[in-house]
Amino acid sequence: MSGGWGLDGGAGASAEAQTVFSVQNLHVSIGRSPIVEGVSFSLEREQTLGIVGESGSGKSMTVLAATGLLDAPGARVSGSALVHDDRLGSQQLVGASRRALRRVHGDAIGFVFQDPSTSLNPLLTLERQITESLEAHRGMTRRTARTRALELLSAVGIPDPEMRLDVYPHQLSGGQRQRVMIAIALACDPALLIADEPTTALDVTTQAQIIDLVRDLQAQRGTAVVWISHDLGVIGQVADEVIVLQQGQVVEQRGIVDLVDRPQHPYTRELLAARPKLGGSPPPPVDAAGEVLLDVQDLDVRFAVSTPTGRGHVHAVQQVSFQVRRGTTLGVVGESGSGKSTIANALTGLVPAGGSAVLGGQSLLGRVPRALRRRLAMVFQDPFSSLDPRVRAGDAIGEPLRVHRLHAGRHRERVRELLDLVHLPSAFATRFPHELSGGQRQRVSIARALALEPDLLILDEATASLDASIQAQVLDLLRDLQQELELTYMFIAHDLAIVQQMSHDVLVMQKGRAVEYRPAAELFGAPAEAYTRALMAAIPPDRPRAALEA
Task: Using CB under 8 A, list all residues that contact another protein.
Answer: 33, 54-57, 246-247, 348-350, 370-374, 376-378, 380-382, 385-391, 399-400, 403-404, 427, 430-440, 445, 448, 452, 467, 469-470, 473
Q: Are 506 and 331 in contact (CB under 8 A)?
A: yes
Give the residue with the Cβ less far from another protein, 193 or 418. 418
Distance from C-alpha of 124 to C-alpha of 128, rounded to nearest angstrom: 6
Question: Per-residue DSSP letters for 118-137?
Answer: TSS-TTS-HHHHHHHHHHHH
- With respect to another protein, which residue has the nearer C-beta, 83 or 359? 359
Q: How far is the CB of 487 from another protein (least distance, A)?
A: 16
Q: How far is the CB of 452 from another protein (least distance, A)?
A: 6
**How far apart (Å, rounded) are the C-alpha atoms in residues 302 and 322?**
19
Helix (H, G, I), strand (E, B) or coil at 188: coil
Nearer to another protein (CB atom), residue 143 or residue 434: 434
Question: Exposed, middle or buried, 285 (CB in 10 Å: 0-12/13-18/19+)?
Answer: exposed
Q: How far is the CB of 31 from another protein (least distance, A)?
A: 11
Q: Provide CB contacts within 8 A for 74, sequence distance 6+.
A: 30, 31
- Cβ nearer to another protein, comparing 103 with 431: 431
Residue 385: CB atoms within 10 A of its CB come to 11
Nearer to another protein, 76 or 138 (CB): 76
Q: How far is the CB of 321 from another protein (least distance, A)?
A: 22
Beta carbons of 257 and 546 less than 8 angstroms apart:
yes
Closer to another protein by Cβ: residue 58 or 190: 58
In terms of Cβ atoms closer than 10 Å to its own Cβ (0-12, 13-18, 19+), residue 135 is middle
Closest contact distance (angstroms) between CB of 273 and another protein is: 15
Output the smallest distance, CB 427 to another protein, in A: 5
Burial classification of residue 63, based on how many CB atoms lie within 10 Å of its CB (0-12 exposed, 13-18 middle, 19 or more buried):
buried
Strand partners, 508: 333, 516
Q: CA torsion angle for 378, 381, 384, 387 (degrees, to 10)?
A: -10
Closest approach, Cβ 390 to another protein, in A, equals 4
Give the neighbor-by-neighbor strand order of the sheet with 329-333. 376-379, 456-460, 488-493, 329-333, 505-510, 513-519
Give the shortest CB-438-to-another protein separation in angstroms: 6
CB-nearer residue toward another protein: 154 or 336: 336
Question: Between 188 and 424, whose beta carbon lies closer to another protein?
Answer: 424
